[in-house]
Amino acid sequence: MCASKLAMIVLDGLRFDTAVSHMGYLHHLVEYGIAARFQVRSELPSLSRPLYEVLLTGTPVWKNGISSNQTVRLSHQESLFHLTRKNGMSNAAAAYGWVSELYNKAPFNPFHDRIQLNSDKPIQNGMFYWEDHYPDTHLFADANFLLNGYNPDFLYVHSMNIDDDGHKHTADSAQYRNRVLAADSILANVLPAWIDAGYQIIVTADHGMTADGNHGGTSSADRDVPLFVISNLISPGIREEAIPQLQVAPLACHLLGISPSKEMQPLNV
């Protein structure tokens, strides 16, 4: 496995305990010594746009200023997209439009900004969606197109269906749990080929989901999310101690073989 290519997958709204109980394929990889599993404590507020910024820049909200879902502007921080381009590497993203708003263009215009290829912006090649029910199957087809067509060193994939069903039906629902099963099934179909293509893999989430069908608070249901890592650089197995979400971006830099930004924490994973 090449130690400089990385696919980072964010399953929006996936809480830790549901990932443990319902992601059979990923736990198969853990059981057979192929993947590592961590528990991550998300930053606050446990909301999507602030945590996209946390995951991609490794900076807390008080520093980066992306404090709510209504903070619509470009990031002022150095993201993984900036860093890969700075280091002469290529990148791509199949993601929600808010990711484009943070790093390429704000506000997001779906009629102009859905497909951004060979861009001179931080995200070099992007395919973006704007409806939370945009099917995860379509999203991973977009990601697979970017991977096969552009061979990016860093591929960022962000899905919304788990979060969407959590808001519609709550985390304590068959719909939410079945959506997690469906996401695991999609990963079982795409990851073997991506790994064979030389990609290390990160699978994580921004925040969790409560039995009230929401997130944003301080509870474990709001904040505890999984982190699966498939890489020769990380020892496989289950880590019991929770790690801070600010460690995810420097971990990605470590896997990519590039220096983290000066604002990121030192890596302790």
- Per-residue pLDDT tens digits for 68-90: 999 999 999 999 999 999 999 99
DSSP E strand boundaries for 52-124:
91-96, 115-116
Question: Token match 């484009």: residue?
Answer: 100
18 occurs within a structural domain: yes
Residue 96 located in a structural domain: yes
In a domain, 261, yes or no: no
Q: How many domains does the chain have?
A: 1
13 located within any domain: yes
Gap between the Cα atoms of 144 and 146, Å rounded? 5
Question: Domain of 68?
Answer: 6-256
d(CA 152, CA 163): 27
Q: Is residue 268 part of a domain?
A: no
Is residue 269 one of the residues assigned to a domain? no
- The tens digit of pLDDT for each residue in 156-179 reads 999 999 999 999 999 999 999 999
Q: How does pLDDT run across 183-193, given as a tens digit for each residue?
A: 999 999 999 99
Name which of 257, 251, 201 is nearest 230 in CA terms. Answer: 201
Q: Tell me, what's the pLDDT at 2?
A: 43
Q: What is the pLDDT of residues 102-111, one digit of tens each?
A: 999 999 999 9
pLDDT band, very low/low/confident/very high, at 269 (cuts 50, 70, 90) = confident
Mean per-residue pLDDT, 196-212:
98
- Measured between alpha carbons, how far is 19 from 141 in angstroms, rounded to an integer? 22
The answer to whether position 217 is within a domain reads yes
Please check whether residue 264 lies inside any domain of the structure.
no
Residue 134, phi then psi, degrees to nearest 5? -55, 120
Domain with residue 148: its CATH number is: 3.40.720.10
Residue pair 86/43 in contact by the 8 Å Cβ criterion:
no
The answer on pLDDT for 125 being more than 50 is yes
CA angle 142, 144, 150 (to 5 degrees): 95
